[in-house]
Amino acid sequence: MKKICVIYTGGTIGSAYRGDGCVGTDGGAGGALTAMYKEKYGTEAEFDECRPLDVLSENMQKNDLVCLADCLREKLRGEYAGVVVTHGTDTLSFTAPLFALLFCDARLPVVFVSALYPLADERSNGPDNFAAAVDFIGEGLPGVFVAFRNAGESFARIHLASRLSDCAPVTGDFSSFGGVPFGVWSDGKFKYLADPVNPTADELRAERAPCGLTAQDLCTDILTVKAHSLTDYSLYGLSAKKPRAVVLELYHSGTICTAGGGNAANFLRLCREKGVPAVLSPVLRGGNVYESATELAALAEIFYDESFQMSRVKAMLALGAGMPLKDVSERNFFFEKVAPRA
């Protein structure tokens, strides 16, 4: 019988409906998760449970992430087959890439799970996500992953945590950067998706160097800006409080507006004048290079072939650790780099 550590942090999967109809964290929801698993699947696994946090993920602070990282690091020293971490959906696309990087050298499977509804709601996908995580741990593949069943699907997707994209509005669906999850879980079985973008089992089992960074290194004094039509980027004057860096999320084609007085190129020039480094992502090497994007390369550090979420995590860690951005932008910590398709 495999022994699995379950770390509860709150989120919808650790919440319940209150008397006023609102969802709030519930310390008893965690035990309900393992009880539901045992009721449906029997005693295929033994669970060792702990609760270092009890917070809705949109309210997670740096000290919460430091606490969770310390807890996970301790549990990875234990005699476990793997670790399941429960987490809210809202900021999972930040925490998952962060922990994929921090624990890129993990020798056990670590699987994050979430839910769209509290466990007592029959619509909740939390029990399926947890069951998928438990079964996937049985594969013995080391690294950090996410198990999540999208609404309307009969299977759960197993994502490399380093490639998890934002939760989609309305549907609450998750996807993998690069378009293909690492695998799927259906009818109690895991199926690896053999695709050129996915690492093999041998590549996952190969030893990886530690990243040399910690959650304590996270720099929160950054400005995150997203490309939108008709945005006057000159409104970001950088005068009230100068950030340590600006991280700019580009359109899918690696572009942003460079026309008009308040365009992004002029904003990046302002950043350079004020000594504020800028990061651009996502950009794929080998993809189309548009005229509007050519002048951006000289004005900022481009993080190639990875999700914006991972680029932002890397920038925050490098800045906090006093490392050059180039030291993290080119490094492939846990298969976050995805080559463009032919």
Q: Residue ranges per domain, the chain?
A: 2-205, 219-329
Averaged pLDDT score across all residues of the chain: 93
- In this prediction the pTM is 0.95
Which of 239 and 176 is assigned the larger pLDDT? 176
Q: For the residues 113-130, what does the mean pLDDT come to?
A: 94
Question: Which residues lie closer than 8 Å to 65 by C-beta, 6 or more apart?
Answer: 95, 98, 215, 218
Q: For the residues 15-42, what does the mean pLDDT come to?
A: 83
Q: For the residues 244-267, what does the mean pLDDT come to?
A: 93
pLDDT value at residue 26: 79
Q: How is 95-129 classified by DSSP, letter by letter? A: HHHHHHHHTTT-SSEEEEE--SS-TTSTT--HHHH
Residue 268: pLDDT band (50, 70, 90) is very high
pLDDT value at residue 57: 95
- Say how many C-beta atoms besides its own lie within 10 A of residue 340's C-beta: 13
pLDDT value at residue 48: 95
Per cent of the chain over pLDDT 70 is: 99
Q: Which residue has the tokens 């399926």?
A: 128
Most confident of 10-14, 62-66, 232-236, 257-261: 62-66
Do the domains 219-329 and 2-205 match in fold?
Answer: yes
pLDDT value at residue 240: 76
pLDDT value at residue 89: 96
Report whether 157 contacts 184 (CB < 8 A): yes
Cα 288 to Cα 252, 278, 339: the distances in Å are: 11, 22, 13
CA–CA separation, 184 vs 190, rounded Å? 6
Residue 341 has pLDDT above 80, yes or no: no
Residue 261: pLDDT band (50, 70, 90) is confident
DSSP annotation of 161 reads G
Q: For the residues 200-213, what does the mean pLDDT come to?
A: 96
Q: For the residues 83-103, what does the mean pLDDT come to?
A: 97
- What is the dihedral sign for C-alpha 82, 83, 89, 92? negative
pLDDT value at residue 167: 94
Q: Which CATH architecture has domain 219-329?
A: 3-Layer(aba) Sandwich (3.40)
pLDDT value at residue 340: 67
Residue-wise over 201-211: b if at least 16 C-beta within 10 A, else e? eeebeeebeeb
Measure CA 212 to chain center.
19
pLDDT value at residue 30: 66
Half-sphere exposure of 137 (CA within 13 A, CB side): 27
Q: For the residues 7-31, what does the mean pLDDT come to?
A: 84
Residue 16 has pLDDT above 90, yes or no: no
pLDDT value at residue 71: 98
Q: For the residues 22-33, what does the mean pLDDT come to?
A: 80
Q: For the residues 19-34, what does the mean pLDDT come to?
A: 81
Q: For residue range 41-81, what is the model confidence (pLDDT) as tens digits?
A: 877 789 999 999 999 999 999 999 999 999 999 999 999 99
Per cent of the chain over pLDDT 90 is: 80
Q: For residue range 143-187, what is the model confidence (pLDDT) as tens digits?
A: 999 999 999 999 999 999 999 999 999 999 999 999 999 999 998
pLDDT value at residue 112: 98
CATH superfamily of 2-205: L-asparaginase, N-terminal domain (3.40.50.1170)
Report whether 39 contacts 127 (CB < 8 A): no
